[in-house]
Chain A
Amino acid sequence: MSGIKILLEKCVGCGLCVKVCPVNALTLDKNKAVIDYEKCTLCGCCVESCKFEAIKMLRKIITKDDISSYKGVWVFAEQRDGDISSVVFELLSKARELANDLDTYVGAVLLGNSITDRAQGLIHRGADKVFVVDSENLKHYIAENYTKVIVSLVDKYKPEIILAGATTTGRSLVSRIAVNLYAGLTADCTALDIDREKKILIQTRPAFGGNIMAQIISPNFRPQMATVRHKVMPESDVNISRVGEIIKEDFNENDSDVRIKFLDFIKETIATVNLSEANIIVSGGRGLQDSKNFKLVEDLAEVLGAAVGSSRACVDSGWIPYSHQVGQTGRTVCPKIYIACGISGQIQHLVGMQSSKIIIAINKDPDAPIFKAANFGIVGDLFKIIPLLIQKFKEKPKSLAV
């Protein structure tokens, strides 16, 4: 019978599992851990926490079909109007590593309209095979149509791994594909590795807003699917002498889903750099005091070639559109440098940006929680500090920000 149980002979009653359980399903009774099965969601946090291997999770192994016939590491080549998203190049470099470990090929899946001429660029970036489906009906990303196409490609070519960017498009699309394929999918990964012995993908992702990390596998199902965060992996280099194969497939017009129609796309961000692709983000908070002072943040962003972010307070006050909000109810970002100006650093903001590589905080309150998360903190008046920073950065040649 599948489920979870305490091995009483091993349990020493240390209580660590009780503290770890996210749903308060564990208690101590007579110095032994007890599981309340009404509350337990089988998340497995306690199994990992136990230093005495006293908690055991049992599962029946269900294997979908012959998984050894699945070969190749695929990357979904997300694009808009023919511009390949930069996350695709990051995925190609990771896919190359994984494919080398598995001794297999890297595939790129390119869907769109008049898109075939972009396939060669993907080969230069590391793909061995590019599967191209070029059709007027795929001009715009429509989850239903893209799903149909990719599911039929997977049925035909059987890749063992599929990676997509953890973008609004990638996340929505592969969720649908995974359900249709009955395949495992892990969202928003920050690290991917191969277990060389078992030849499976180990996927690492943050949960609870980055407060904990989880490693996830899907050993008995294929393909193993993951969406991957922007900016956590380096882009692959361009090598114009690389050769590869371009495989064209058709999309039958009659298969186009009539229930959903693309009507329009409207571009809408004040800085030209979008938050998820930015190497540097300058964010403003309530410490700016007034909407007109947001200009300071925008000016600093401009000299750095950075994107503009914001705390929730500024969005709620109408100083800047919601699309710039970083944090729990906004976007999650992980740029190389995050500069927080006048942001106190409530947990809801921190969960959206604490994975940034370098955090610089400017705040007049030395006790502001943002300083705990910061690599560099400046205690001071941002109305003096920011103009000085702008002046200093202007003196230097433009950064390599974009």
Chain B
Amino acid sequence: MNIIVFIKQVPDTTDVAINPETNTLIREGVNSVINPFDMYAIEEAVRLKERWGGTTTVVTMGPPQAQEALREALSLGIDKSIHLSDRAFAGSDTWGTSLILSKAIEKIKDYDLIICGKQASDGDTAQVGPGVAAHLDLPQATYVRKIDTVHLDTTPNVIIVERLLEEGYEVLELQLPALITVVKEINEPRLPSLRGKMKARTAEIILWNNNDLNVEKDKIGLDGSPTQVVKIFTPPHKEGGRIFKGEPEEIVDELIKEIKDLL
């Protein structure tokens, strides 16, 4: 079973802070990490490979420093890594990004399953996974919390997955090749092994630019992206709240006095 995992390098949110004077994000010294949801995608791919054989490939799009993320994925047991990097890709919104990623998939050709994290922690859109599925016309299951069964002995091959919803979950059967996005509940990611780290340090990272992918330039980057960011601002700060201290009976009464009109 050949599996492709898409990952994104994001700023570590635990480091994100607001400068109260300028009201802007403080970025100095912020670490970059693999998007937390992608860690579950990586782990699931490695587990499926351990059970069913095949090759795992991790793909990311981003500036040169995104290679750190690829090496980390390799240290966690992924076999191959591909870095998509080109000035022409910069400024792409989710439409353009999912087009570029789908062109990479077409170039990889031989695959059974694509796994993504449910969304990235910086943009929070959850649009790129289904977007890639749409560009490639693949069946999709988003918010997958469990892969129940894999049937590689049937024609066509199928997987049965549980998809997390607001009020429960649904069970879906998908023909392969397919694309799934996964939630945290699906597994517990392992830590990198020492051997994995050693291997990752020297492993080859395949670099593809737009000469390799040939994406129409009119459809990507700033020009081809349907959406434009026109303004970025920090949300108005919450007024300092009221803090109640003292005897439990008294402070509970005070609180209820404050909120009774809201209930």
Residues of A within 8 A of B (CB): 2-3, 16, 19-25, 37-45, 48-49, 57-60, 62, 80, 140, 143-144, 147, 167-169, 171-173, 175-180, 182-188, 202, 206-221, 257-269, 274-277, 280, 304, 322-323, 325, 328-330, 332, 336-337, 346-348, 351, 358-360, 366, 371, 373-381, 384-385, 388-389, 392-393, 396, 399-401
A339, chain B: closest CB distance, angstroms: 10
Q: Is A260 in contact with B95, judged by CB distance below 8 angstroms?
A: no
Interface: B105 (CB within 8 A) = no
Q: Which residues of B contact A265 (CB under 8 A)?
A: 165, 168-171
Chain B positions within 8 Å of A, measured between CB atoms, are: 11, 13-14, 16, 18-19, 22, 24-28, 36-37, 62-65, 87, 90-91, 93-95, 98-99, 121-131, 133-135, 139-143, 145, 156, 160, 163-175, 178, 183-185, 218-219, 221-235, 238-239, 241-245, 248-249, 251-253, 255-256, 258-260, 262-263
Query: How far apart are the CA atoms of A173 and B90 in the complex, in Å?
Result: 26
Cβ-defined partner of A212 (8 Å) among B19, B25, B90, B143 = B25
- A62 touching B121 by the CB < 8 A rule? no
Shortest B263–chain A CB gap in Å is 4
In the bound complex, do residue B134 and residue A38 qualify as a contact, i.e. CB atoms below 8 Å apart? no
Q: Are A172 and B140 in contact (CB under 8 A)?
A: yes
Candidates B160, B167, B242; contact of A267 at CB < 8 Å = B167
Measured in the bound complex, the distance between the Cα atoms of B133 and A400 in whole Å is 42
Given contacts A41-B63, A322-B185, A323-B164, contact A266 B223 (CB under 8 A): no
Bound Cα distance A276, B164 (Å): 13
Query: For A38, what are the chain B residues with a Cβ–Cβ distance below 8 Å?
Result: 63-64
> Which residues from B are CB-within-8-Å of A267?
167-168
A371 lies within 8 A of B252 (CB)? no
**CB <8 Å contact, B90 and A40:** yes
Q: Does B13 contact A216, Cβ atoms closer than 8 Å?
A: no
Q: How far is the CB of A87 from the nearest CB of chain B, in Å?
A: 10
Interchain CB contact under 8 A, A377 and B139: no
CB-based nearest A residue for B234: A212
Partner of B22, one of A16, A168, A396: A16
- How far is it, in angstroms, between the C-alpha of A178 and the C-alpha of B132 when the chains are bound? 11
Contacts A60-B223, A168-B143, A210-B235: A22 and B172 contacting too (C-beta < 8 A)? no
Known: A216-B230, A346-B14. 13 other contacts (CB 8 A): A2-B223, A19-B25, A25-B63, A180-B134, A214-B231, A217-B227, A221-B226, A260-B141, A329-B184, A348-B14, A377-B241, A381-B248, A396-B260
Which residues of the partner chain A approach B135 to less than 8 Å between Cβ atoms?
Answer: 179
Is A171 a contact of B142 with CB atoms below 8 Å? yes
Q: How far is the CB of B121 from chain A (nearest CB, A)?
A: 6
Q: State whether B230 touches A399 (Cβ < 8 A).
A: no
B174 with A377: CB separation less than 8 A:
no
Closest partner residue, chain B, to A143 (CB atom): B140
User: A20 contacts B27, CB within 8 Å?
Assistant: yes
With A171-B126, A182-B95, A207-B124 as given contacts, are A274 and B145 in contact (CB-CB < 8 Å)?
A: no
The answer on a CB contact under 8 Å between B227 and A218 is: yes
With contact pairs A19-B28, A212-B234, A378-B252 given, residues A185 and B259 touching in the complex (Cβ less than 8 Å): no
Q: Known contacts A44-B232, A266-B171; is A184 also within 8 Å of B227 by CB?
A: yes
Instruction: State whether A182 and B226 are in contact (beta carbons under 8 Å apart), knowing that A213-B232, A260-B173 are contacts in the complex.
Output: yes
Contact B252 A167 (CB under 8 A): no
Of all chain B residues, which has the CB nearest A44? B229
* Option from B27, B127, B171 in Cβ contact (under 8 Å) with A19: B27
Interface contact B227-A358, CB-CB below 8 Å: no
User: Given A44-B229, A49-B24, A62-B224, A171–B127 Cβ distance below 8 Å?
Assistant: yes
CB of A211 within 8 A of CB of B263, answer no
Closest B residue by C-beta to A215: B231
Tell whether A168 pairs with B142 under 8 Å between CB atoms, given A40-B90, A184-B226.
Answer: yes
Kindly list chain A residues whose C-beta atoms are within 8 Å of the C-beta of B129: 175
Q: Give Cα distance in the complex from A265 to B166, angstroms.
A: 12
Q: What residue in chain A is nearest B232 (Cβ atoms)?
A: A48
Closest to B87 in A: A37
A40 to B253: give the CA distance in the assembly, Å.
54
Q: What residues on A are CB-neighbors of B143 within 8 Å?
A: 168, 172
* Residue on B nearest A358 in the bound complex, by CB: B262
A38 to nearest B CB, angstroms?
A: 6
Task: State in angstroms the CA–CA spacing of A388 and B239 once bound together.
Answer: 27
**Is there an interface contact between A360 and B139, defined as CB atoms closer than 8 Å?**
no
> Looking at the complex, which one of A179, A202, A389 makes contact with B95 (CB distance below 8 Å)?
A179
Which chain B residues lie closer than 8 Å to A58 at the CB level?
Answer: 222
- CB <8 Å contact, A45 and B232: yes
**A16 adjacent to B255 (CB under 8 Å):** no
Question: Are B62 and A41 in contact, CB atoms less than 8 angstroms apart?
Answer: yes
When the two chains form their complex, are residues B94 and A399 in contact, meaning their CB atoms are under 8 A apart? no
User: Are A400 and B263 in touch, CB under 8 angstroms?
Assistant: yes
Which residues of chain B are within 8 angstroms of A376 by Cβ–Cβ distance? 241-244, 255, 258-259
Q: List 6 A-B contacts (CB under 8 A).
A: A2-B91, A19-B22, A21-B27, A208-B11, A208-B25, A211-B16
Cα–Cα, bound, A329→B164 (Å): 13
Residues of chain A contacted by B232 (CB below 8 angstroms): 44-45, 48-49, 212-215
Expressed in whole angstroms, the minimum distance between the Cβ of B89 and any Cβ of chain A is 9
Residues of A near B184 (CB, < 8 A) are 322, 325, 329-330
Inter-subunit contact A213/B233 (CB<8 Å) = yes
Given contacts A218-B227, A347-B16, A375-B238, contact A22 B134 (CB under 8 A): no
- Chain A residues contacting B234 (CB-CB under 8 Å) are 211-213
Name the CB-closest residue of B to A336: B262
State the CA gap A345–B49 with chains docked (Å): 38
Cross-chain contact of A178 among B22, B37, B131, B248 (Cβ < 8 A): B131
Ranked 5 nearest A-B pairs via Cβ: A42-B91, A184-B226, A179-B134, A175-B130, A187-B125
B168 near A388: Cβ-Cβ < 8 Å: no
**Nearest B residue to A331 by beta-carbon distance?**
B166
